[in-house]
Structure 1
Amino acid sequence: MLLNALIVDDEEYSRKSLYYLIQEHCPEVRVEGIAKSVAEARELIRETHFDLTFLDIAMPKESGFELLPDLQERGIMVIFTTAYDQYALKALKASAVDYLLKPTDIEELQQAVKKAHDWVKLRSESQPAEPGFEDESKITLSHTNGFDVVDTSDIVYIEADSNYSIFHLSNNENIVISKPLKEFEEMLTARNFLRIHKSVIINFRYVKAYSHKNGLQVILNNDITLPVSRRRSNEFQERAKSYFKS
């Protein structure tokens, strides 16, 4: 499976160097476009199909992060290429395939490309009915190191953090995804999930109690307390009655 790639970097040497490294050492990648700015990259992705972008971060006028909405809208994967390591956490939240420091190491480049290739292969084989789903009981969560396939029954709750969503799992692990909570609300609420607040989606599987003693609150099995907004409280109570009755 050949991946069509775009290189975005304001430095000519970096663009050429990465291009030749890919040509020489990554036969599964075909560079279809090279851009020296975010604005130029936007033009290219409107005209050409790309699977993958090698994206610099610190660039004049607009940083690489400002291109992310355009890439995510088209399902284009991202491998960040930068001379600075202070952006690693933000790249993690952006669900990048990988984060490569300049000068680019050949082995690390090949490993990053393999992650991207594996990611595309899984998406192709699973053919989800909704973005992110493999089947009725699993969801694929992409992040900087690739992706995790998670049983929806293991999701305790999902918490909004600006335009990111934090998945809290039953094994106490957290996964940060660069998508707003609304996208997962649309995917999950037909099952055992409900958005009880602008910043929280819960799984009824883990609900232990509901209280209005100190404001409207849900208490989970792990004793975490989460707020319920007043406008969602009636729907929560109706759904809770239906869920626990069944």
Structure 2
Amino acid sequence: MPKPWWKRKGLRVTLIIVIVLGGLLVIADRVAASVAEDKVATLISQEAGNQGVTMTTEPDVDMGGWPFVTQVFGGEYEQIDIYFRDITAQGVNLPELNVHASNVTAAMTDVLNGAGPVVAQSMTADARLTYDSISDTLAQTDAKVEVSADGDQLLVKSTIDVFGTQIPVTGAATIEMGENAVKVTVTQMTADGVQVPPGGEGLIQEFASGLSKEIPLPPLPYNLQLSDVKVEPDAVVLSASANEVPLV
């Protein structure tokens, strides 16, 4: 026997109320997360300044995990992602630094009041060096340089003057970690599809040797230690990590 119409209508109303309340809870949770993210971003900017790091804008902070409010009350956060852009330390610029802090502890009142401490049990980070920035570093006074990815190596292109003739040249380069720097080493360079004037090969090799150099890196915040460098299609990515790190 079918249910009376008023009972079916009551069930629909109940479902609508549940859906609406669920939506409101999601919105409230995200609003709380947004407020906390703004507070933490300001604190991190201040702490980075204390560590000698300057930036043009505050970092973007994403406090992950669901629901957020229960993490606030518990004082433990699954992960906090921090995205720095265009930071400078000791006169060296780093276009991009993405930090991922896991198992973060912070008292509810501290976060809401914009205070510390905020401590991450572990932290990983990747710093990205754009190919434009590497190109600018390798460029010589009389010749521009274009650097791009070529598998796990770098492809280096330029045009140089060989006895009054402009010769396009192409070379391969490796990149590896040094001490507070990355080392770019041009392993070979040849003329690109043109005949080299007699005696010009020596000038090409001299030019290639001048391109090999170290690119200094700024000290990373939070005592992050660089561990690896990898060539990716859009940037050179440097990996770093640290443990038991006070964010603020």
TM-score bracket for this pair, using the shorter chain length:
under 0.3
User: Which protein shows a greater Rg?
Assistant: 2
| Structure (1/2) with the larger helix percentage | 1
Q: Which structure would you say has the larger RCO, counting Cα contacts within 8 Å and 6 or more residues apart?
A: 2
| Structure (1/2) with the larger strand percentage | 2
